[in-house]
Amino acid sequence: MTLPLKSLFQLPDGMIYLDGNSLGPLPCGVSDAVKACVEDQWKNQLIKGWNDCGWMEQPERVGNLIAPLIGAQSNSVVCGDTLSLKVFQALSAALQMNPERKIILSDTGNFPTDLYMAEGLIKLKAAGIELKLVEPGQINDALDSTVAAVLLTEVDYRTGKRYNMPQLTQAAHAVGAVAIWDLAHSAGAVDVDVAASGCEFAIGCTYKYLNAGPGAPAFIYVRPDLIDTIDPALSGWLGHQSPFSFNLTYQPVSGIGRFRIGTPPVLQMAALEAALKVWENTSITEIRHASIRLTSLFIDEVESRCDQLTLVSPRDSAERGSQVSFAFEHGYAAIQALIDRGIIGDFRAPDIMRFGFTPLFIDDSDVVGAAESLAEVVNERIWDQPVYHRRKAVT
Amino acid sequence: MTLPLKSLFQLPDGMIYLDGNSLGPLPCGVSDAVKACVEDQWKNQLIKGWNDCGWMEQPERVGNLIAPLIGAQSNSVVCGDTLSLKVFQALSAALQMNPERKIILSDTGNFPTDLYMAEGLIKLKAAGIELKLVEPGQINDALDSTVAAVLLTEVDYRTGKRYNMPQLTQAAHAVGAVAIWDLAHSAGAVDVDVAASGCEFAIGCTYKYLNAGPGAPAFIYVRPDLIDTIDPALSGWLGHQSPFSFNLTYQPVSGIGRFRIGTPPVLQMAALEAALKVWENTSITEIRHASIRLTSLFIDEVESRCDQLTLVSPRDSAERGSQVSFAFEHGYAAIQALIDRGIIGDFRAPDIMRFGFTPLFIDDSDVVGAAESLAEVVNERIWDQPVYHRRKAVT
């Protein structure tokens, strides 16, 4: 099949949805899968569902469906919990690998929860560890032999700038630091290759470009040679080698399963597993090609129509994720006006309008339509209308 | 309405389900609620669902539905994540409250994941903290001024023994220790009163007696006077006072919301919220009365029919949760044979047969029927039949 695959999604009529970078739309088949999980599995199998419906192995099974989308080897990805918790798992493991070092290095463009989780871990350890934040682009200069771990998001959530993951990983390794990559805005959107990068850990969510629904489980990738060397800090029973032996002491299972914690959210896992079926019809390489075409087209179409906006995403497509952001003084009102016209983008303080392009369901005519509406809203000075006052913004 | 409320559940025909202490059955209305969440909210509202469908406030809103079932004040319970992670949150907070003390006290009857999470936290802190385990019943004797926190499960998952929560909490407080109670086998089953006990923290799951489905979210209770004094260790963005300001430093919100971590599992939350509607028709007081009657009846009916089983649950109903366990050498085979007869109990190594009684959907005739079948299986020496070999057991 060729992109886009609109027929695989249940998109509301007349909407151009450019917010798949926040919450992907409902793929066909997901509602039926969730219904089957509730009405066939839970209702009829009850407790037997854990064995007979494959619930227990689902976190690893679904991890293996995500693996090829991020260039990971089989059995190196497991799903569960939330991205915040996966950050905590990766970071605590990294500190375990570099026990003498005191610096966690990140930048001010990172998504805040990554930084917050680092803060919490640092306070908990009370071992003099520091979170050092530099400006985006300054990581290379800040790397030295004091750095235990580098924690970065591959695609900046505001600007859509894509970091050079292989280069930065190599630079981290050159000083003996562990590299942790947050793929929240990468997985399903760009041709990330965790194995080729050599990074130790990667983490991500599945409710954005993987379209698995609100609050869908997160995932963690651990470089295969490291998996069995790590003693998980969040040592829950489902990472135990024999959870149903009910031993009193923790002994992690061999393999990626040791990064499991508690009982997996079976309904959300069912939605996630069904959502990933979309990828049987395309590949991340095709998606990346289409994404570059769409984002480039959007920049051209917008800039040819209005000159009041400042592109904050990289103009060079090689350095851009699957979103385009413009800074604009009246961005909040402009986004509200676009939403009222059925063009769904979003806003990030202080002045950034974000537009995510998921080639799975966005085509050239959507891009042109969105650019036309954006230009109209800006050229008509929509923010002068009292109706476009500030409302609450959501990720 | 009077108990049982069988019509509020979608129970498989002909089954007597005595495993609601592992996974509760499907309440009516839950499937429709999940479907609405997927097909109306996610599909049509997409990103707007966070504001317009009440997804963002759901963890606190649902926490307030659980609060009266455990004797908690409004705004002292929040839902999310898994019980293992809630243990970690409570325990890390307790250590924060008692920074000079080095002992976490628990007993060997506690559910293993509670102990495993304590182990992980202890290693992470690397501060010389120890997990001290005593035999069940020995907690009082082990309490002294070295104990930072006491971590206990109110109703033992194997024996069904109910601890004296007010007394043990008081004893912990008498030596300056923090009391943490795991309500996994209590919430929805016994008349627990966290406020009256004075305990600092309680945690629980919702997939057992609260019938919210496989992998349903956990909850945490924090004593109201303490909430704002705790700096959460798992400091995720949704516990931030202003998550959408995207500040670089963590500042917890005032109130129970600070025990939120990452993006909540919206589909599972929808199932949980719908499952709790059952409680509009009864109260935990009624449930406790019925539970005592049912468990007492089961003991009588079984013991009058066969004498090969050893009751491991307390005979005194005041000391018993909502389950009855018998130790029996051939318990595994017996449980398998019962399952084949549509009587669903479960087995816990080495030799415990567990039968959970949820008065919401179990009545006297179920109890008598189950006792008859159990006696039959035992008296017929079912374990001599080759078909009843060992299969995998699940919580």
What is the tens place of the pLDDT at every residue in B305-323?
Answer: 999 999 999 999 999 999 9
The rounded distance, in Å, linking the Cα atoms of B97 and B177 is 9
Which residue matches tokens 């998001």? A153
Of B81, B114, B156, B182, which is the active-site residue?
B182
Task: Tell me how crowded residue A363 is: count the other CB atoms within 10 A of its CB.
Answer: 16
**pLDDT one-digit tens code per residue, A214-242:** 999 999 999 999 999 999 999 999 999 99
Is any Cβ of chain B less than 8 angstroms from the Cβ of A392? yes
Kindly list the distances between the CA atom of residue A301 and the CA atoms of A304, A306, A318, A367, in Å, as whole numbers in the listed order: 5, 9, 19, 8
Which residue matches tokens 């919580």? B395
Query: Is B267 in contact with A10 (Cβ distance < 8 A)?
Result: no
Kindly list the distances between the CA atom of residue A4 and the CA atoms of A191, A275, A290, B46, in Å, as whole numbers in the listed order: 17, 16, 9, 19
Which residue does chain B place closest to A252, by CA atoms? B116
Which residue matches tokens 């006491």? B150
For residue A17, indicate whether it is catalytic: no
Is any Cβ of chain B less than 8 angstroms from the Cβ of A271? yes
Bond before B4 cis per omega within 30 degrees: yes
Contact B90, B214 (CB under 8 A): no
- Amino acid in position A158: R
| Stretch (H or E) spanning B58 | helix B58-66
Residue A213 has pLDDT above 50, yes or no: yes
Residue A335 has pLDDT above 90, yes or no: yes
Phi then psi for residue A348, to 5 deg, are -130, 130
- Amino acid in position B387: V
Predicted pLDDT at B395: 42
Predicted pLDDT at B335: 96
Task: Tell me how crowded residue B158 is: count the other CB atoms within 10 A of its CB.
Answer: 20
Query: Is A265 in contact with B216 (Cβ distance < 8 A)?
Result: yes
Predicted pLDDT at A390: 57
Which residues of chain A are within 8 Å of residue B19 when distances are taken between CB atoms?
46-47
Predicted pLDDT at B390: 57
Q: What is the pTM for the complete model shown?
A: 0.97
The rounded distance, in Å, linking the Cα atoms of A212 and A26 is 8
Q: Detail the DSSP E strand segments found in B81-194.
A: 103-107, 130-134, 147-153, 178-182
The rounded distance, in Å, linking the Cα atoms of B153 and B174 is 20
- Amino acid in position A222: V
Which residue matches tokens 């497991």? A78
Nearest to B82 by CA among B219, B200, B187: B219
Phi then psi for residue B240, to 5 deg, are -75, 150
Is any Cβ of chain A less than 8 angstroms from the Cβ of B207? yes
Task: Tell me how crowded residue A45 is: count the other CB atoms within 10 A of its CB.
Answer: 17
For residue A208, indicate whether it is catalytic: yes
Span B78-97, average pLDDT: 98
Query: Is B248 in contact with A23 (Cβ distance < 8 A)?
Result: no
Alpha helices in chain A (DSSP H): 30-35, 49-52, 58-66, 83-97, 112-125, 139-142, 165-174, 194-197, 224-227, 266-275, 284-303, 331-340, 364-379
User: Structure tokens of B147?
Assistant: 């104990």
Query: Is B42 in contact with A266 (Cβ distance < 8 A)?
Result: no
Note which residues in 340-359 of chain A have CB less than 8 A from chain B: 344, 346, 348-349
Residue B367 has pLDDT above 50, yes or no: yes
**pLDDT one-digit tens code per residue, A247-302:** 999 999 999 999 999 999 999 999 999 999 999 999 999 999 999 999 999 999 99
The rounded distance, in Å, linking the Cα atoms of A360 and A341 is 22
Read off the pLDDT band of A392 (50, 70, 90). Answer: very low
Q: What is the ipTM of this complex?
A: 0.97
Distance from CA of A316 to the nearest CA of B (A): 26
Q: Give residue B104's Cα distance to chain centre.
A: 21
Which residue does chain A place closest to B336, by CA atoms? A48
Kindly list the distances between the CA atom of residue A325 and the CA atoms of A128, A309, A314, A346, A352, in Å, as whole numbers in the listed order: 38, 10, 9, 10, 6
Strand order in the sheet with A147-153: A77-80, A218-222, A201-204, A178-182, A147-153, A103-107, A130-134
Q: Give residue A380's Cα distance to chain centre.
A: 35
| Residues in Cβ contact with B254 at an 8 Å cutoff, skipping those fewer than 6 apart | B227, B228, B241
Kindly report the CA angle at B151 between B145 and B154, in degrees rounded to 5? 125
User: Structure tokens of B274?
Assistant: 């719908």
The rounded distance, in Å, linking the Cα atoms of A1 and A283 is 10
Contact A120, A95 (CB under 8 A): no
For residue B125, indicate whether it is catalytic: no
Give the dihedral sign, CA A387/A389/A394/A395.
positive
The rounded distance, in Å, linking the Cα atoms of A165 and A146 is 21
Domains of chain A with bracketed CATH: 30-280 (3.40.640.10), 283-384 (3.90.1150.10)
Phi then psi for residue B389, to 5 deg, are -85, 175
Query: Is B83 in contact with A262 (Cβ distance < 8 A)?
Result: yes
Residue A140, CB-side half-sphere exposure with 13 Å CA sphere: 9
Query: Is A119 in contact with B249 (Cβ distance < 8 A)?
Result: yes
Read off the pLDDT band of B267 (50, 70, 90). Answer: very high
Predicted pLDDT at A166: 98
The rounded distance, in Å, linking the Cα atoms of A316 and A305 is 20
**pLDDT one-digit tens code per residue, B213-258:** 999 999 999 999 999 999 999 999 999 999 999 999 999 999 999 9
Span B330-341, average pLDDT: 95
3-state secondary structure of B222: strand
**pLDDT one-digit tens code per residue, A126-167:** 999 999 999 999 999 999 999 999 999 999 999 999 999 999
Query: Is A125 in contact with B123 (Cβ distance < 8 A)?
Result: no
Q: Average per-residue pLDDT in chain A?
A: 96
| Residues in Cβ contact with A350 at an 8 Å cutoff, skipping those fewer than 6 apart | none
Which residue matches tokens 């004091």? A146
Predicted pLDDT at B314: 98
Note which residues in 292-351 of chain A have CB less than 8 A from chain B: 344, 346, 348-349
| Residues in Cβ contact with B22 at an 8 Å cutoff, skipping those fewer than 6 apart | A47, B208, B346, B356, B394, B395
Which residue does chain A place closest to B13, by CA atoms? A44
Q: Give residue B95's Cα distance to chain centre.
A: 23
Query: Is B233 in contact with A349 (Cβ distance < 8 A)?
Result: no
Q: Give residue A198's Cα distance to chain centre.
A: 19
User: Structure tokens of A287?
Assistant: 């998606």
The rounded distance, in Å, linking the Cα atoms of B291 and B298 is 11
Q: What's the DSSP call for residue B284?
A: H
| Residues in Cβ contact with A124 at an 8 Å cutoff, skipping those fewer than 6 apart | B92, B121, B124, B125, B233
Contact A390, A355 (CB under 8 A): no
Predicted pLDDT at B1: 74
Backbone region of residue B342 per phi and psi (left: phi > 0; alpha: psi in -120 to 50; beta: other values): left
Task: Tell me how crowded residue B385 is: count the other CB atoms within 10 A of its CB.
Answer: 12
3-state secondary structure of A83: helix
Which residue does chain B place closest to A135, by CA atoms? B248
- With b for 16 or more beta-carbon neighbours within 10 A and e for fewer, the B39-63 pattern comes to bebbbbbbbbbbeebebbebbbebb
Could you tell me whether strands A103-107 and A310-311 are parallel, antiparallel, or unpaired per DSSP bridges? unpaired
Read off the pLDDT band of A15 (50, 70, 90). Answer: very high
Q: What's the DSSP call for residue A165?
A: H
Q: Give residue A287's Cα distance to chain centre.
A: 16
